[in-house]
């Protein structure tokens, strides 16, 4: 299906028949992507006095409990409620779901013992483009990201200056293929989270950060139409399913 969408007084022709899913699915396995020092997710049938809620075990239905942490076990979208005392829910913070998005590819730079994404790199990749959503794919970009165990590996992260740059550029929705925009062990400073949400001044309640995406190498850098789908959890974060659509004509 091809449809014409108008945003910012400009019309775009979108091919909705070929969605590009950039989420990582959650599976009940040690091969599920993981971070933050917790066990793998579990998906298992309810059991009650010997009855097992599985068709394979003789029940008439499959009726599973799912145990997981949205921050640790796959693609998730979070709001400022993730880092502040006051309760904020992603389900109420994210009220719009379609955005013009720019996919950029960045090779994190070595800084001491870390690999970081700097303001200069983002300036080079984005130029004068104005987008409500920015999607950062890091190099190297291998399928290992679908199952990597990130705990104690010090993954790449954004410098505070990079997060400030995105905020000041008007980016409301940041999507990254890392487990966090911040350093794994930073003493609780969370510099990039705080900078992007502007927690020291007027908090950006509608801004979101999506982590643990995976952008295949077949997806070229450029402008896309993003559908940011979340589950309706009243929580600071929810599992999410960001979908990209190619723009075939402006």
112-144 pLDDT, tens digit each: 999 999 999 999 999 999 999 999 999 999 999
- Asked, for residue 178, whether it belongs to a domain, the answer is yes
- Asked, for residue 137, whether it belongs to a domain, the answer is yes
- Segments forming the whole domain that contains residue 204: 2-40+69-249
Note the pTM of the prediction, 2 decimals.
0.96
Contact indicator for 80, 197 with CB cutoff of 8 Å? yes
- Name the pLDDT band for 3 (thresholds 50, 70, 90): confident
Contact indicator for 239, 26 with CB cutoff of 8 Å? yes
CATH code where residue 229 lies: 3.50.30.50
User: Which residues, 6 or more positions from 30, have their beta carbon under 8 angstroms from its beta carbon?
Assistant: 40
For 11-62, the pLDDT digits (tens) are 888 989 999 999 999 999 999 999 999 999 999 999 999 999 999 999 999 9
- Three-state secondary-structure class, residue 139: coil
Choose among 72, 68, 66, 47: nearest CA to 57: 47
- Asked, for residue 49, whether it belongs to a domain, the answer is no
pLDDT at residue 205 above 90?
yes
- Asked, for residue 214, whether it belongs to a domain, the answer is yes
- Asked, for residue 64, whether it belongs to a domain, the answer is no
- Asked, for residue 47, whether it belongs to a domain, the answer is no
Tokens of 229: 């789908």
Report the pLDDT value the prediction gives residue 141, as an integer from 0 to 100: 98
For 164-177, the pLDDT digits (tens) are 999 999 999 999 99
- Asked, for residue 48, whether it belongs to a domain, the answer is no
Residue 51 CA to residue 54 CA, distance in Å, equals: 9
Contact indicator for 138, 150 with CB cutoff of 8 Å? no
Report the pLDDT value the prediction gives residue 10, as an integer from 0 to 100: 81
- Total domains in the chain come to 1
Report the pLDDT value the prediction gives residue 250, as an integer from 0 to 100: 62
């Amino acid at each position: 299906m091809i449809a014409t969408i108008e945003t910012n007084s400009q019309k775009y022709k979108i091919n909705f028949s070929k969605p590009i899913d950039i989420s990582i699915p959650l599976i009940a396995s040690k091969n599920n992507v993981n971070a933050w020092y917790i066990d793998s997710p579990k998906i298992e049938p309810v059991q009650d006095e010997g009855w097992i809620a599985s068709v394979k075990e003789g029940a008439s239905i499959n009726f599973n409990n799912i145990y997981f942490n949205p921050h640790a076990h796959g693609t998730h979208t979070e709001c400022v409620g993730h880092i502040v005392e006051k309760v904020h829910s992603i389900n109420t913070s994210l009220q719009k779901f379609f955005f013009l998005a720019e996919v950029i590819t960045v090779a994190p730079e070595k800084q001491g013992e870390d690999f970081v994404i700097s303001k200069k790199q983002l300036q080079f990749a984005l130029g004068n483009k104005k987008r409500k959503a920015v999607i950062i794919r890091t190099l190297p970009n291998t399928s290992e990201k679908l199952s990597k165990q990130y705990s104690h590996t010090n993954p790449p992260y954004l410098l505070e200056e990079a997060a400030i740059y995105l905020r000041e550029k008007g980016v409301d929705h940041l999507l990254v293929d890392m487990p966090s925009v911040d350093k794994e062990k930073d003493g609780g400073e969370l510099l990039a989270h705080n900078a992007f949400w502007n927690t020291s001044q007027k908090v950006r309640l509608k801004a979101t950060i999506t982590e643990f995406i995976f952008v295949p190498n077949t997806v070229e850098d450029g402008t896309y139409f993003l559908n940011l789908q979340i589950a309706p959890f009243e929580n600071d974060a929810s599992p999410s399913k960001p979908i990209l659509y190619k723009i075939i004509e402006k």
